[in-house]
Structure 1
């Protein structure tokens, strides 16, 4: 059985159930499985993002339209 078939079967079962306790259990399984992408980054990557956010807060950035115009020159 492939993954798409399994998803469809689970969707069918999910849509048919009226058991709130089952829905809560399923929701908790999904919540437990979610990975916080921030924690998956290295400390160096996190620091780079923090630095970028500080720079943006201080107005130290180049507007997206200006950057895109630079790249349009090469196309």
Structure 2
């Protein structure tokens, strides 16, 4: 199976689709697959990122690494 050919066939079929229920099913499937990476990481990782952003806003990161900048 050539994936590019199958994608084109699907696009052509979807373009001609007139059934709103089927279209809604595709939209729901797409939304399930579109996952925000923020929701995929642990609470600890989110906390560390937020802490790093706060430090960057305060200029603490620049001070800490100024010898390399």
Pairwise TM-score range, normalised by the shorter structure? 0.5 to 0.7
Q: TM-score, normalised by structure 1?
A: 0.62
More helix by share: 2
Superposed CA offset, 1:2-40 (max 9, x none) = 221111111001111111111111000111122221132
| Uncovered stretches (5+) of structure 2, i.e. residues with no partner | 63-68
2:8 aligned partner: 8
Q: Matches of 2:19 and 2:13 in 1, distance apart?
A: 11
Q: Matches of 2:20 and 2:46 in 1, distance apart?
A: 39
Q: How is 1:53-72 mapped onto 2 (pairs within 5 angstroms)?
A: 53-58=53-58, 60=59
Alpha carbon RMSD of aligned pairs, Å?
2.1
Q: TM-score, normalised by structure 2?
A: 0.66
CA apart distance, 1:43 = 4.1
After superposing on structure 2, the runs of 4+ consecutive aligned residues of structure 1 that deviate more than 6 Å are none
Q: How many residues align?
A: 62
